[in-house]
């Protein structure tokens, strides 16, 4: 009996993507370079947590070009999610893009369809611009959100799902209408569950000034949450009735777990027979 172990490891797909990016960089197509990176604002939150904010990440004209593409061509959906045992409509539109082969992403009982970067080529240009602005970063997944007015929002939460490292870097790019971005320090009893059912102001308790921070996310800006921000802090984009225009937000993350498929076959009597398929598991990859 001859036993053959077939391993399909999707990390090679990532290598192919990187090779393609090198080829693209040598073509005549110019990727917009980040603008005004010398004006970074850095906020030390303590205990290894940090916020970096770049108000002019790209030029206004380039930002509007990307905004128009995203607004018109992304297959936006407004899903029904589960919040504290109840089904509610998420108060913003969303879409998910990820490298092929990565672990399935889900939140609040909702599992979005996973599109690829090739489905929307301008997203690769934005990704390259983010990587250039943040040397050493390696993002492979993207959650897009569209706020169609001041009644659209995201409640207090942390991006601390299990498929992300607690100390990972998360980059957030904003296009369109300016919106407030709030931070507050977690208490020992703070629930880490996402709360989209009511505006944050109705759910949060008063905090000291040192435990709360706010930024105005401008058109074409980049905000980066670094270190242990997701472990120790929560953030939100609250309702703003005066915000009548549309805002589009792109949140880049790195998923550190790849799916490893292993199928065991045996060759017997001239026939290749599958003995069994091992369950899919998540394996940490460097």
Please state the residue numbers annotated as binding site for 2-oxoglutarate.
145, 147, 157, 235, 247, 251, 253
49 membership: H or E segment, kind and range: strand 49-54
Using DSSP, state whether 63 is helix, strand or coil.
helix
Dihedral in degrees, nearest 10, Cα atoms 155, 166, 114, 143: 40
Q: Which residues contact 13 (CB under 8 A, 6 or more apart)?
A: 99, 100, 101
Specify whether the CB–CB gap between 213 and 43 falls below 8 A.
Answer: yes
pTM strictly above 0.85: no
Please state the residue numbers annotated as binding site.
84-86, 105-107, 145, 147, 157, 160, 235, 247, 251, 253
Structure tokens belonging to residue 216:
């105005």
Q: Does residue 285 or residue 75 have the better pLDDT?
A: 75
Can you say how many angstroms the Cα of residue 29 is from the centroid of all Cα atoms in its chain?
Answer: 26
Please state the residue numbers annotated as binding site for substrate.
84-86, 105-107, 160
Q: Residue 129: count other Cβ atoms within 10 Å of its Cβ.
A: 21
What pLDDT does residue 98 have? 94
Residue 186 above 90 pLDDT? yes
Query: Which residue ranges form the domains of the chain, and what is each CATH number?
Result: 39-260 (2.60.120.590)
Residue 251 above 90 pLDDT? yes
Q: Cα(35)–Cα(124) distance, rounded to whole angstroms?
A: 18
């Amino acid at each position: 009996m001859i036993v053959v172990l077939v391993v399909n490891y999707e990390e090679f797909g990532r290598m192919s993507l990187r090779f393609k990016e090198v080829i693209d960089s040598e073509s005549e197509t110019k990727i917009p370079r980040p603008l005004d990176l010398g004006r970074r604002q850095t906020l030390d939150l303590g205990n290894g947590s940090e916020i970096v904010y770049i108000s002019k990440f790209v030029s206004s004209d380039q930002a509007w070009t990307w905004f128009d593409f995203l607004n018109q061509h992304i297959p936006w959906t407004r899903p029904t999610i589960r919040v504290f045992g109840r089904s509610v409509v998420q108060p913003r539109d969303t879409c998910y893009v990820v490298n092929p082969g990565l672990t399935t992403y889900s939140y609040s009982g909702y599992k979005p369809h996973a599109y690829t970067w090739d489905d929307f080529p301008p997203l690769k240009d934005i990704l390259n611009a983010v990587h250039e602005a943040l040397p050493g970063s390696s993002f492979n997944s993207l959650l897009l959100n569209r706020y169609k007015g001041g009644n659209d929002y995201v409640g207090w939460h942390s991006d601390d799902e299990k498929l992300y490292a607690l100390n990972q870097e998360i980059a957030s790019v904003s296009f369109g209408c300016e919106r407030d971005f709030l931070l507050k320090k977690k208490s020992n009893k703070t629930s880490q569950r996402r709360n989209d059912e009511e505006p944050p102001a109705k759910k949060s308790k008063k905090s000291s000034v040192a435990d709360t921070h706010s930024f105005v996310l401008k058109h074409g800006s980049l905000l980066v949450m670094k270190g242990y921000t997701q472990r120790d802090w929560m953030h939100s984009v609250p309702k703003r009735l005066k915000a009548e225009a549309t805002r589009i937000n792109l949140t880049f993350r790195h998923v550190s777990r790849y799916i490893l498929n292993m199928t065991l076959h045996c060759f017997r009597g001239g026939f290749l027979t599958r003995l069994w398929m091992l369950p899919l598991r998540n394996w940490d990859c460097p």
